[in-house]
Amino acid sequence: MKSLLIKGVREGLGRVIAFISFVTRPKRIKRDEASQKQVNLDVKNLALYQFYGCPFCIKTRRTIHKLNLPMTYKDASKAPYRQELEQGGGRVKVPCLKIEEQGAVRWMYESNDIIDYLNQRFA
């Protein structure tokens, strides 16, 4: 019973934080058409595994929004994404950025590392 209550509070707070984040989102950066097309192509090789109400995922999604990246989001609380994350990355921990480059796949954990990577690559 106690764990159910804690789960409910955590879920409720996560939704409140997500709502506040949504209404206070930063402005998207603007790029010329050719630059944005290239970014859109580059982002096709990236996917963010996340939980909707996780504060660290929200922080990461805010950066993705600000950088104007059409990122694929995968809800790691549901199949088959949870299994993909566990098998590919080795653990179910979010946020996690899946990076596919030159035939290799890299799994990046930690919101600050993901944000730094995205800022360096796309800012």
* CATH (domain of 117): 3.40.30.10
For the record, the structure tokens of 69 come out as: 């990246």
Rounded Cα–Cα distance for residues 55 and 50 (Å)? 10
Q: What is the residue-level pLDDT of the chain in tens, covering all 123 positions?
A: 778 888 788 788 888 878 887 888 889 999 999 999 999 999 999 999 999 999 999 999 999 999 999 999 999 999 999 999 999 999 999 999 999 999 999 999 999 999 999 999 998
Q: What range defines the domain where residue 83 resides?
A: 2-26+35-122
Contact 79, 69 (CB under 8 A): no
Helix (H/G/I), strand (E/B), else coil: 28: coil
Residue 41, amino acid:
L
* Sheet containing 46-50, strands listed edge to edge, beginning at the edge strand earlier in sequence: 72-75, 46-50, 96-101, 104-109
Tell me the pTM: 0.88
Domain count, the chain: 1
